[in-house]
């Protein structure tokens, strides 16, 4: 039995089991109940007769490679299937885009999947089994994490990057990254050269930077904070300053040089230099202080002017102390005139150039005294020679006088 509502019929032939139309039938609803069964479909014969049929028998006796198994359809074709191509070169060859929620291979497999919502949340999983949850590695783009693009190895092995069939970089399961080394011992371990415009650590750290132009203008900054301009120390080489190499401390502390965890030398903020353990500040206005002394093969000292040397001793107006005056001064003060005492040297030290000048002064004074003594000696010698000559002449006269007297006596005795 049929129930139908016709809106336009050109030619209508009404029978018990058939509706026949020579042209067009337009209807809002058509209900056919005879032979209807759940999941059956209508089929027609060569002359247009329709009947309900089991889909599994639809293609019975018909040449086809498609088969039904419950709700599934499968293909036993031994060749390839082409979509968008008449000459497929793979079991499934698609010219165009394949769109699916999940694309998964079988066994130890790769799974391409959409993760959550949004057409950009996706991941590529690498499985060691055919279980969708047993992933060992994943490449994921997660918009829920600020658009991060993530490479993940869920196993205990390393993540290895290969080029030219050789392992080049290694990310271990402990988080150490090696370049050119498979067993990195720190967060970044490079076996070879590192080249970069800037290398900078976080927060209070070190920055290695190219400075200005030229491949030899470079700086090594030590920062007290994460501000790039806030560096407290710097090692740099500036070609624009005749190739000067600088070591700079911009803070208020000293620039220290250490070996064996001990301070060996220090440059103070005022420029004074200490050699030795930093226990004593540089005294007075001196720029160099050496603890425990200096051993050297040569020392050269430059004077500011001629007045810093002792040649003034030879000036005509120089007052030279007599030996008697020196003797009296030494007896009273226990040191030479114009020379610091041992107490003064112990308390204040002495300047080498000034002391050399003082010692030269004493030497020159000694030479002047020696010259005077020599002159006095020469005068005494002359006087002595004259005296000796006078004595000799006197002795000669006396001898002649004595001989005359003796001759006269002889004559008197012979009378």
How confident is the model over 271-291, as pLDDT tens digits?
Answer: 899 998 876 677 678 888 888
pLDDT over 90 (residue 169): yes
Residues 6+ apart with CB under 8 A from 23: 10, 11
Coil, helix or strand at residue 51 = strand
Range of weakest confidence among 125-139, 206-220, 300-314:
206-220
pLDDT over 80 (residue 155): no
Can you give the pLDDT at residue 135? Answer: 64
- Any idea how long the chain is? 415
C-alpha radius of gyration, the chain, whole number: 60
Cα distance between residue 186 and residue 177, in whole Å: 7
Question: Do 33 and 1 touch, CB atoms closer than 8 A?
Answer: yes
Coil, helix or strand at residue 374 = helix
What is the mean predicted confidence (pLDDT) over 109-116?
A: 68
What is the mean predicted confidence (pLDDT) over 22-30?
A: 66
Residues 6+ apart with CB under 8 A from 20: 12, 13
Token duo for residue 160: 């290895």
Can you give the pLDDT at residue 229? Answer: 58
Average of per-residue pLDDT values in the chain: 78
Q: Which of 51-55, 71-75, 126-130, 362-366 has the highest mean pLDDT?
A: 362-366
pTM: predicted TM-score of the whole model, two decimal places = 0.45
What is the mean predicted confidence (pLDDT) over 195-213?
A: 66
Give the confidence band of 2 by pLDDT, cuts at 50, 70, 90. very low
Can you give the pLDDT at residue 184? Answer: 93
pLDDT over 90 (residue 176): yes
Beta strands, E only, 70-173? 72-75, 81-83, 92-94, 102-104, 110-114, 122-127, 135-142, 148-153, 159-163, 166-171
Question: Do 399 and 406 touch, CB atoms closer than 8 A?
Answer: no
Cα distance between residue 405 and residue 393, in whole Å: 18
Can you give the pLDDT at residue 167? Answer: 92
Can you give the pLDDT at residue 250? Answer: 80
Candidates 281, 284, 305; CA nearest to 350 is 284
pLDDT over 70 (residue 370): yes
Q: Which residue has the higher pLDDT, 112 or 319?
A: 319
Q: Which residue has the higher pLDDT, 265 or 149?
A: 265
Rounded to 5 degrees, what are φ and ψ at 344?
A: -65, -40
Q: Which residue has the higher pLDDT, 374 or 409?
A: 374
Cα distance between residue 128 and residue 105, in whole Å: 11
The widest CA-to-CA distance across the chain, in whole angstroms, is 231
pLDDT over 50 (residue 10): no
Q: What residue segments make up the domains of the chain, in order of their start?
A: 197-251, 255-295, 299-411
Range of weakest confidence among 39-53, 111-125, 149-163, 341-355:
111-125
Can you give the pLDDT at residue 154? Answer: 79
Q: Which of 23-32, 43-52, 207-216, 346-355 has the highest mean pLDDT?
A: 346-355
Can you give the pLDDT at residue 399? Answer: 87
- What are 332-346's pLDDT values in tens digits? 999 999 898 999 888
Beta strand 72-75 with 177-179: parallel, antiparallel or unpaired?
A: unpaired
Report the share of the chain in percent with pLDDT over 70: 75
**In DSSP terms, which residues pair with 207 in a beta bridge?**
200, 221
- What are 67-101's pLDDT values in tens digits? 777 777 777 777 888 899 999 988 889 999 888 77
Candidates 255, 205, 257; CA nearest to 226 is 205
pLDDT over 60 (residue 118): no
Cα distance between residue 109 and residue 128, in whole Å: 7
Where residue 85 falls (left for φ over 0; alpha for ψ -120 to 50; beta otherwise) is beta
Can you give the pLDDT at residue 9? Answer: 42
């Amino acid at each position: 039995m049929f129930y139908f509502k016709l809106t336009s019929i050109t030619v209508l032939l009404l029978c018990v089991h058939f509706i026949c139309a020579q042209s067009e039938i337009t209807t809002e609803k058509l209900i056919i109940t005879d032979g209807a069964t759940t999941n059956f479909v209508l089929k027609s014969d060569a002359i247009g007769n329709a009947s309900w049929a089991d889909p599994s028998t639809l293609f019975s006796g018909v040449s086809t490679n498609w088969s039904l198994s419950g709700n599934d359809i499968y293909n036993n074709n031994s060749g390839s299937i082409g979509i968008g191509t008449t000459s497929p070169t793979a079991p499934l060859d698609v010219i165009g885009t394949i769109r699916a929620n999940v694309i998964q291979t079988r066994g130890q497999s790769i799974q391409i999947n959409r993760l959550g919502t949004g057409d950009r949340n996706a991941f590529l999983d690498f499985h060691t089994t055919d279980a969708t949850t047993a992933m060992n590695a994943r490449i994921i783009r997660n918009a829920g994490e600020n658009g991060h693009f993530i490479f993940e190895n869920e196993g205990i092995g390393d993540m290895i990057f290969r080029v030219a069939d050789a392992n080049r970089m290694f990310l271990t399961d402990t988080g150490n990254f090696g370049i050119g080394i498979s067993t990195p011992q720190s967060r970044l371990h490079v076996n070879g050269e590192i080249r970069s415009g800037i290398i900078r650590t976080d927060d209070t750290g070190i920055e290695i930077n190219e400075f200005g132009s030229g491949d030899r203008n470079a700086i090594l900054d030590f920062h007290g904070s994460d501000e790039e301009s806030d560096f407290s120390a710097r090692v740099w080489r500036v070609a624009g300053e005749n190739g000067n190499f600088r070591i700079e401390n911009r803070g208020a502390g000293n620039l220290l040089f250490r070996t064996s965890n001990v301070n060996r030398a220090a440059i103070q903020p005022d420029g004074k230099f200490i050699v030795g353990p930093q226990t004593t500040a540089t005294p007075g206005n001196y720029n160099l202080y050496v603890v425990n002394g200096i051993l050297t093969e040569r020392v050269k000292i430059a004077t500011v002017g001629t007045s810093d040397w002792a040649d003034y001793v030879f000036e005509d107006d120089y007052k030279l102390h007599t030996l008697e005056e020196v003797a009296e001064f030494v007896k009273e003060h226990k040191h030479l005139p114009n020379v610091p005492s041992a107490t003064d040297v112990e308390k204040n030290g002495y300047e080498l150039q000034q002391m050399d000048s003082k010692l030269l002064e004493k030497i020159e004074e000694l030479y002047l005294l020696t010259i005077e003594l020599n002159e006095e000696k020469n005068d005494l010698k002359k006087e002595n020679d004259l005296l000796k000559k006078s004595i000799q002449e006197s002795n000669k006269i006396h001898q002649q006088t004595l001989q005359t007297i003796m001759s006269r006596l002889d004559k008197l005795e012979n009378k």
